[in-house]
């Protein structure tokens, strides 16, 4: 009888544990979704009201300075600007939920189509830049931490300071002067040389990938020749930031007792550095790299202007100059959504690199 009474109790206890775990996971998931929704709503509110407070008249941007007052009033009412702000806001939100961001003044096409056309160029440039920045920044940061207060540390810190402090447009201009005008190692403006323009129909939107998919190798090499210099210019800034943060994280880990224990056990220098110390900073580096990547996509405006890169930054600048608030607000909203997505990706990678967070 005793055995028969214990077994169901054990089953009930096990089922209660699973139920509690499921309830906790559902609660965490609902909190996560709720925080994302609230953040997106706050982003919509900020985007709308900043757009309304900017010293730009969207009606004049459409009708021009020489339009009659009757034309001005008609367009003013068509845009719904005669309605209260809360009515305009709910109209703005409902349009966005339907995927309607308005029509761009420069092109006469829907803004969402323009962004879909130019954004892959920025993604392609930013991705190569963050690969360069991370590929250089992490090893240099580790080297500076291991050789602390020695010439490698001083060298890395000096060049990181220069790269972080110097404006990217100056690096871009100097790069064009040296590698394009003098040495001829890089292409000029745009994503590809002018006689290759339009030879490859967009498939993914990434010209390097699309040219490989269709077998246009001349276009690929021309695109690679044009992209490497702006990618290096952008990557230098992220390299400086990533190397400084990597150095700081590694110095903290190298001073821990477990590192001393590992060395006492006779582990090699590489094992101590990469298997133990570096392994414990991976989670922190995920956030740093994600933020640096978002900063590259957002801050590519100057580099895209210098290199006449037909990307998101150039599109935003052009529309800001003429006061096209539909395009400006859509671009601002996209940047905010991008940072939210990168934060979500960081949370996911936390759980991949640090198993302890999976039960948190």
Count how many Cα atoms sit within 13 Å of the Cα of residue 245 in the half-sphere of its side chain.
Answer: 22
CB 311 within 8 A of CB 33: no
Give strand pairing partners of 110.
103
DSSP string, 55-80: S--HHHHHH-TT--HHHHHHHHHHTT
pLDDT at 1: 46
∠ CA 69-73-76, rounded to 5°: 135
And the tokens for 2?
């005793």
Angle made by CA atoms 293, 296, 300, in degrees to the nearest 5: 160
Runs of H (alpha helix) within 54-182: 58-63, 69-78, 85-97, 111-146, 151-165, 168-175
Considering only CA atoms, which of 235, 217, 238, 356 is closest in space to residue 289? 238
**CA pair distance 224, 359, nearest whole angstrom:** 44
Task: Report pLDDT for 21.
Answer: 63
List, for the chain, all residue ranges whose pLDDT scores fall below the cut of 50: 1-2, 5, 360
- Measured in residues, the chain has a length of 360
Task: Please give the backbone phi and psi of residue 357, each rounded to the nearest 5 degrees, phi first.
Answer: -80, -10
Q: Which of 315, 333, 313 is nearest to 51 (CA)?
A: 333
Q: 111-359 architecture in CATH? A: Orthogonal Bundle (1.10)
Residue ranges covered by each domain of the chain: 2-97, 111-359
Q: Are 234 and 164 in contact (CB under 8 A)?
A: no
Token pair, residue 118, equals 């130019």
Q: CA quadruple 36, 42, 45, 46: dihedral positive or negative?
A: negative
């Amino acid at each position: 009888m005793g055995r028969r009474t214990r077994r169901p109790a054990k089953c009930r206890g096990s089922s209660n544990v699973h139920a509690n775990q499921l309830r906790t996971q559902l609660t965490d998931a609902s909190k996560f979704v709720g925080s994302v929704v609230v953040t997106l709503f706050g982003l919509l509110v900020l985007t709308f009201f900043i757009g309304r407070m900017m010293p730009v008249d969207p009606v004049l941007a459409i009708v021009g300075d020489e339009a009659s007052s009757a034309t001005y009033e008609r367009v003013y009412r068509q845009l719904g600007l005669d309605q209260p702000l809360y009515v305009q806001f709910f109209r703005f939100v409902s349009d966005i939920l339907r995927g309607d961001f308005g029509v761009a003044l420069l092109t006469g096409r829907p803004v969402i189509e323009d962004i879909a056309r130019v954004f892959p160029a920025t993604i392609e440039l930013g991705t190569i830049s963050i690969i360069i920045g991370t590929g250089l920044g992490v090893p240099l940061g580790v080297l500076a931490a291991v050789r602390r207060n020695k010439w490698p540390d001083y060298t890395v810190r000096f060049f990181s300071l220069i790269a972080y402090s110097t404006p990217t447009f100056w690096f871009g201009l100097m790069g064009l002067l040296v590698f394009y005008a003098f040495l001829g190692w890089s292409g000029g403006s745009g994503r590809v040389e002018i006689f290759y323009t339009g030879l490859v129909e967009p498939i993914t939107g990434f010209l390097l990938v699309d040219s490989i998919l269709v077998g246009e190798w001349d276009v690929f090499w021309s695109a690679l020749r044009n992209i490497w210099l702006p990618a290096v210019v952008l990557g230098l800034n992220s390299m400086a930031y990533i190397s400084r943060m990597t150095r700081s994280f590694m110095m903290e880990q190298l001073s821990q007792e477990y590192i001393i224990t590992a060395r006492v056990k006779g582990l090699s220098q590489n094992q101590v550095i990469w298997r133990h110390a570096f392994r414990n900073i991976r989670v922190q580096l995920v956030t740093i790299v994600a933020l640096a990547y978002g900063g590259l996509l957002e801050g590519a405006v100057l580099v895209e202007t210098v290199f006449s890169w037909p990307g998101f930054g150039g599109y935003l600048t052009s529309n800001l100059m003429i006061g096209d608030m539909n395009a400006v607000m859509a671009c601002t909203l996209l940047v905010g959504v991008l940072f939210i997505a990168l934060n979500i990706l960081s949370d996911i990678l936390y759980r991949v690199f640090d198993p302890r967070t999976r039960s948190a």
